[in-house]
Amino acid sequence: MASLTPLAFAALDLLNEAPMHPYEMFQTMVHRQEERNVKVRPGTLYHQVGRLAELGLAEVVGTDRDGNRPERTTYRITAAGRTALAEGLRRMVAEPADEYPEFHLALSVLENLPHDEAVDAVRARIVALEHERDEYDRAVERVRAKQLSDRYWLDVSYVRAMLQAQIEWLSTTVERIARGDIPWDGPAVPHQTSTNSKEPTR
């Protein structure tokens, strides 16, 4: 079975809830703020739903027209689609994927910034993360107000926890840098004296 893009996988999940036409799927994703997890664009979504049908993971169940609007095609998930959804979920949850976040790269070469600029940049990131964490706190309040079962917003809870962990680690680290506990000049390895010795073993 061909691998699914994140958007196709999200579309398959929606079709597992109920038959829908792509525009309804797009509206649902926007309402649920799925852009937190996947890039959602109407044209791309239409293409991905068509791809699901080509792969036999979804099928057309009918078309309808509302006034002068274009005809809308409704799709539903197939048995093969449910199998692909379950298999994909098991793999994504159980097997850590190779991911290359931009910030990890930035941290690995942060020493290229002057000391004060590095401190200012990290502190600015902390402020941005705190704002993002606060937004997730409001999202948690909304879903709790709806008495929605925890299993439907595990992603919100997870991201909020990861944001808090980042804030705590960065806050501790930036203070170590600011105090000089993490030296910002000199050789990469303390016993080396050469000024051209950036060859640490990471």
- pLDDT confidence of residue 167: 98
**pLDDT confidence tier of residue 147, bands split at 50, 70 and 90:** confident
16-32 pLDDT, tens digit each:
999 999 999 999 998 88
Q: Which residues contact 77 (CB under 8 A, 6 or more apart)?
A: 12, 15, 16, 57, 58, 85
- pLDDT confidence of residue 3: 78
Compute the distance between CA of residue 98 and CA of residue 88 in angstroms, rounded to an integer: 16
Please, what's the b/e burial string for 19-48 (b: 16 or more CB within 10 A of its CB; e: otherwise)? bbbbeebbeebeeeebeeeeebeeeebbeb
105-141 pLDDT, tens digit each:
999 999 999 999 999 999 999 999 999 999 999 988 8
- pLDDT confidence of residue 198: 53
81: left (phi over 0), alpha (psi -120 to 50) or beta: alpha
172-194 pLDDT, tens digit each:
999 999 999 999 987 878 776 55
Between 47-51, 147-151, 152-156, 189-193, the lowest mean confidence (pLDDT) is in 189-193
39-62 pLDDT, tens digit each:
888 899 999 999 999 999 999 998
- pLDDT confidence of residue 124: 98
pTM: 0.75
At residue 137, what is the residue type? D
Which one has a higher pLDDT value, 99 or 167? 167
**Mean pLDDT of all residues in the chain?**
89
Compute the distance between CA of residue 83 and CA of residue 12 in angstroms, rounded to an integer: 11
Structure tokens at 140: 């948690």
- pLDDT confidence of residue 123: 98
